[in-house]
Structure 1
Amino acid sequence: MPPPGVEARELSIPFDRYNFSTADISLLEGAEEILVRDCMRRRGMAWEVLPRSAAEDLEPPNRRRYGVVEPEVARLFGYHSPPDRPTVARRAAARDSRARRLSAEEQRAAYGEKDGCLEQARSHLEQGTPQVDEALFNRLISETFAQSQRDPRVVRVFRAWSACMREQGRQYADPLAAITDRRWMTDGPASQEEIRAARADVRCKERTGLVPAWAAVERRIQDDAVDAHPAAFRALRATKDQQLAAARAVLARG
């Protein structure tokens, strides 16, 4: 199972500063586990804390933003998502095993909507954070991504990528059309045809410079969005930073 490639790990956009990455979520969930454990103990119940996932095994936040960009992933999995890396899979298996063993009373204590330990843990991590406009942020995520695809520079690189794919007998207007081809949306391993298409896709991205060109346009558009909504983005950043600081404090005391 190859680790995430440099092509995915180095891909970043401005909104990443305000959104919770996979690594951030892992940190928050690790703190929640400790807080839930302590809460359950106060209620006279045991709680098995899940093992943490290794940082190098976590999914990069923009891994499939522009379709498949890693040659090794295309070679092994085509357009299918790679399976979880070992420590991520181990954590998921431990979570499922724990869920099967919880009694009804333990489930209510841990997950009750009004006074459950998980709800209390999340309230603790969110304590004192500013109110954020999640609807605005989600709308801007969608709108800026769509806007980037209409930018003349991106349109040109899409055409170049599409011409490169046609040279290899594949008809796609853009990389998103390729990765969402219904032929690839199947269970089980990728077919050899899918793998050939994905590898051609990655080669054409490299040949045309599609990823750096598209990312540069997205960065400009997202920077403009941040400048247009300064208060909203300050609140998003403060909320993220404060929650992560609270989570680190919980993990530090263990």
Structure 2
Amino acid sequence: MRTRSGLPAVVAVSVALVAGCGDASGHARPDVPHPFGGAAHIPVAERRLFAAAEEELVADCMRGRGLRYLPQPPAEAAGPEETGAAVYGLIGPREARLHGYGMGERLVATPSSSGGAAMPVGANAAMRAAMTARERRAWDGALLGTPGREARIEVDGNVFTYAPDACVTRARQDLFGTDWDRLRVTAEAAVSAVAARVWRDPAMTAAVARWSECMAGKGHDLRAPAEARAVVDRALSGAAGGNRAGFAAALRLEHETAIADADCQCDSGIWEAVVSAQRAAERGTPATASAAVSSLRAARVKALEAARRITATAPPPTR
């Protein structure tokens, strides 16, 4: 099931009545921004640009160590662009009717893999396979770092581990700066803390209770929006790799659940509650975390300028 073949016919759902909450409830649905104005969120287009620039920098680093590395094209993004609503598991009627939660689409569009994200792909995999065992160890060590020498960053229980001597690390630091990983982990922890405070807000608690009652009326016994996605995730995971009919049924469940979820979110006022609660939650962010978010924003702007320069002079990627 994890192929790039066409989606099962069930995905071609009706696109009627996809305009948004305003059509059903008489009021426009508010936009829900990422916490801190999106400073800790990198859109798909920027991620692809950064990935392309990092590949060029990895190749430069490997070349400096007398080794060959072929920059690879960035992976295609599956599903719709993430919005601020994704932080809270919110979904609008249009997205629900066109994509469900996007979970089935991503599953179908993502090839299965027996290795991790750090394993070389494409031409590099073929080149690595042709090496002797000794050459392969040297190449892997240069690219991914020396085993047992990992460094660790921990912020509020969030841990990021990296290899200081790896070319993938050197490339990331050359592009974003040596403090990028600490800033990113700190900013992501701040985003998670804001989202947690939003869910504890009394107005949000009341909106979720209304949502749960609405969902029960549609045949879904769920206490919170996250439970709706969890039900779908279990169904898709259980059907993936099985027969086509079972996977199609899981996709139908995804779309039916997502549409009910979106309609109940509109009717319960969850979107409005999030917007209000997020403003209050951001005001309670510690000064150190706010400073990290601001520094991350500045580092990202600088990295974008560098990435554009690097990719503008790079040769076409090797596939």
TM-score in terms of structure 1 length: 0.73
Structure-1 separation of matches of 2:229 and 2:76? 28
1:110 maps to which of 114, 132, 143: 143
1:37 aligned partner:
59
Q: Is 1:202 equivalent to 2:275 in the alignment?
A: no
1:231 aligned partner:
291
* CA-CA distance at 1:49 after TM superposition: 1.8
* CA-CA distance at 1:149 after TM superposition: 1.2
Retained in 2: the 8 A contact 1:52–1:87? no
Structure-2 separation of matches of 1:63 and 1:122? 28
2:33 aligned partner:
12
Retained in 2: the 8 A contact 1:129–1:242? no
Structure-2 separation of matches of 1:38 and 1:70? 44
2:222 aligned partner:
172
Match runs of 1:25-104 below 5 Å: 25-52=47-74, 59-60=81-82, 62=84, 64-67=86-89, 69-71=91-93, 74=96, 81-84=103-106, 96-98=121-123, 100-101=125-126, 102=128, 103=131, 104=136
* CA-CA distance at 1:175 after TM superposition: 0.9
Retained in 1: the 8 A contact 2:101–2:255? yes
The CA RMSD measured in Å over matched residues stands at 4.0
2:42 aligned partner:
21
Match runs of 1:208-223 below 5 Å: 208-223=268-283
The alpha-carbon distance between structure 1 residues 16 and 107, as it changes in their structure 2 partners (threshold 3 A), is farther
Q: Is 1:184 equivalent to 2:235 in the alignment?
A: yes
Retained in 1: the 8 A contact 2:34–2:83? no
The alpha-carbon distance between structure 1 residues 134 and 170, as it changes in their structure 2 partners (threshold 3 A), is same
Retained in 2: the 8 A contact 1:14–1:223? no
Q: Give the letter aligned to residue 18 of structure 1.
A: A
1:241 maps to which of 282, 292, 301: 301
* CA-CA distance at 1:148 after TM superposition: 0.8
Q: Which runs of 5+ in 1 are unaligned?
A: none
The alpha-carbon distance between structure 1 residues 136 and 70, as it changes in their structure 2 partners (threshold 3 A), is same
SS of 1:21's equivalent in the other structure is coil
Higher deviation after alignment, 49-58 or 198-207: 49-58
1:160 maps to which of 210, 214, 223: 210
Q: Give the letter aligned to residue 311 of structure 2.
A: L
Structure-1 separation of matches of 2:104 and 2:35? 26
Structure-2 separation of matches of 1:206 and 1:54? 32
Match runs of 1:115-126 below 5 Å: 115-126=165-176
More helix by share: 1
What number of residue pairs does the alignment pair up? 247
* CA-CA distance at 1:164 after TM superposition: 1.2
SS of 1:31's equivalent in the other structure is helix
Retained in 2: the 8 A contact 1:68–1:79? no
Retained in 2: the 8 A contact 1:148–1:154? yes
Higher deviation after alignment, 56-65 or 178-187: 56-65
* CA-CA distance at 1:33 after TM superposition: 0.5
Structure-2 separation of matches of 1:133 and 1:45? 31
The alpha-carbon distance between structure 1 residues 22 and 84, as it changes in their structure 2 partners (threshold 3 A), is farther
